[in-house]
Chains A and B, each alone.
Chain A
Amino acid sequence: DVKVTQSSRYLVKRTGEKVFLECVQDMDHENMFWYRQDPGLGLRLIYFSYDVKMKEKGDIPEGYSVSREKKERFSLILESASTNQTSMYLCASSWRAGANVLTFGAGSRLTVL
């Protein structure tokens, strides 16, 4: 089975800090995604990447950036964390020909104080 690992399950940061959320997948998937999950809003796509060093904005990219230097790793960066970025962040991956079937990590719950 594909495994998507998010290194930090819970983080507490202060306003203005730079935050890195790391995601690693172990099945050579081409596509990787970062979603934000908030109650009542479902999942919203922040960024995705379909190849190394390639990225595209999703629906809510403001305040975020991403990095994909290696195929298996996709990082989400909050340059200057704000309280409205307190949320659950979900990483996912898929095979390019895998018909939008996403494999998700367990999530990283970020609290910004």
Chain B
Amino acid sequence: AQSVTQPDIHITVSEGASLELRCNYSYGATPYLFWYVQSPGQGLQLLLKYFSGDTLVQGIKGFEAEFKRSQSSFNLRKPSVHWSDAAEYFCAVGAAYGNKLVFGAGTILRVKS
């Protein structure tokens, strides 16, 4: 069965510090992976996606993620966090074209000044 695990429910980092949010997936076929962000009171916005090719993908707002097939992971990183990055982050896995994504439970990021 498809599943996504985000081990960290909450993470707090200082402004300017680096960030890594973890995501592990279980998927029976070639996984297509996504990170979405939800700011308070907003819907979800796509940060980045991985379909194939280079395993390090760049997204919006200075985020990047690395696909590691051997570890079934797709961790999200940012070298220097800004206060505006405080939000909830969701990892998702699915087919490239289709109608169903499986989402993780989310990680809430708090940024302290």
Which residues from chain A sit less than 8 Å from chain B, CB to CB? 4, 31, 33, 35, 40-45, 48, 50, 56, 58, 90, 92, 96-97, 99-102, 104-107
Contact = CB atoms under 8 A, between A and B. Distances in A.
A99 B97 contact: yes
A37 B35 CA distance: 16
Q: Is the interface of B mostly helix, strand, loop or mixed?
A: loop
B9 to A, nearest CB: 7
Nearest to B4: A42
A101 B49 contact: yes
B96 interface: yes
Given A42-B103, A45-B100, A56-B99, A99 B32 contact: yes
A108 B103 CA distance: 19
Contacts of A97: 97
Interface residues of B, number: 27
B106 A100 contact: no
B57 interface: no
Contacts of B41: 106
8 contacts: A40-B9, A42-B106, A43-B90, A58-B100, A99-B32, A100-B101, A102-B44, A102-B46
A99 B105 contact: no
B103 A43 contact: yes
A48 B100 contact: yes
A75 B99 CA distance: 17
